[in-house]
Structure 1
């Protein structure tokens, strides 16, 4: 048996150099963990959403208040930021010009109505115009009735005088015809007697019982009577033509009178229709002397504050931001985020202008979405406009009163659900899809 040397070092027992067990254990743990993560990523859904900036807007735009005719401001009854109800009087214009125009048209209407009554009486041959349908209580109307009644009598008398003059001439011509007819009859009777006497005298002259001068005297009387009868016939014919001519003149006079009355009737009716339209317009202008709020809302951009100020036709006086309508949010969606955005999607609204701790996330839905991108000014980033209607039933009363047009909003629109694995792999797959394309 040999003993170890005294100077030989004492060595510890050798450790086992086999590490495969822990390594395999760690590798298995990593693979199990990675596989579990992959399985978890493939199974767990993750909601995808688009976040877009937005602005609260009224359901309709602010209403501009203008005046069609313009005028002079007589009263200002509102201030900037004041709440008004639909129908409240905002301004009052001086009514002088509108009232003057309306009164002038009333006077024209009264005169034309009285004129119409007079013309109808002349057309129908009445003894006097019928003014019973007119309001004689008006001073203007009573004066118009008096004027037209007087004109009716004057025109009636003038027509009667003209027809009477022509009738007198016609009567004289008729009397001349009667007289000459009687003269002709007498001459014809005398001629018949002379002819009988001449026949007897001729027989006696042939028997030499009377002288020739007696026969010649009877022949001269016969010739004279024949001439008188011829002149009577000519006078009767001339007088007959005069009677016919005068009758034609009377008929023509009455026809011209009737045609003039008919023409005046058409003219006055057209004028009354035109005046009626102008009166309605004038009444409308007079009603617009009081400029009223077209809707309920808050006064903004008040441009008229001074009494006596002249406003031009169509000038903008103020704007009214509506407060009685539903609230919409105009959200600007980036072009790369439009996939999956459609009308009807639910959206979450965060009012960034209100305290986050006390303001809940509001809900809404997309009611419209632009079909093409919008570029407002050159150099600005284009966007798609999505209009989100706020679900007011879910808005607390204390929040609803603080939401007003113009407030900034963050709009969150959930678009689709996908797994965590697809969420992680999609950027890599997109990069590969772009990288392995030939140029």
Structure 2
């Protein structure tokens, strides 16, 4: 008995001491929900049109750049494809003309085209330009081959004539030697004059033949020079034609490129993308085939990194107990309380007048004061410190409309003070009446 009494006494004393020194937060409790008006991003489409696909749902989390809605792109794609084909064709022509102008034996098509060889239109353009290059190259080489053979033939004739010239020189030399021998005999009267004249005629004939051969050699060399000039002219013509084609194609590319860029943008704009990471709400488009007007709002996005604002409903009888800058403790009632404690926040705005719950869509916490009406409340916006969100699990997502309980902290008092507060308040009221 004594031991039991002692234990009870110790417990009573211990609880009394704990209740006397343990602090509790005091203040105003309220209900609220996560709101988004302060940070929402309005998503619109400049041109409007016929909706082909709606890729998101209300409340869905999206990443920046993620497609949200796709519009009918038949006209935009047709215009884009025409310009893309024209641009690709010009690029292929530029590659061919460049190869011809530089005298290359093959065409180096740009990597941007080669990477799209799986596209039949692109592979067809490359094949056509390659065939045209090969045909023109073969024609050029064939012409050069004929002219080169002509030069070789002329060279053979020159060499043949030169051989005859050398032979004529040798015959003239031998004939002169023979004539000189007979000339000595003729001078001594031992040889007839007609013999000397016959040798002189032979030398003259040989000299004339030699002159004809030299003339032929000169003519043949001239023909060789003319043939080489024709080869050079063919090469220059090919180069100049390729250079002219290159300039024209590059000029057309300069004209087509900005139009293709505009068509790219027009096609890309048929896909409405998320401007930021965030959550979809107020989605207005649900029907495939629906028509939207230019600039019509399609949905709103709440940025993921935006400060969390809890809009709390304050009972009219509590309005004098709160003020801007007041600290707050927030719990998200939709989450398991075992996994997160209260998050610190601060009151950043208090409505100047009462608000109708029916008009606002919010439900005030608890019964209202007499005369205020059951549907009236004050609004207090509580901003949660972003650093506090790290207390939540990484997989936790705070979404618009999520319910929350809010404690607006007015001060602290002990547990004992809280227990005795009703008694002391009653006594204080009784003394005031006396």
* TM-score after normalising by structure 2: 0.48
Which of structures 1 and 2 has the bigger CA Rg? Answer: 1
Structure 1 length normalisation: TM-score? 0.48
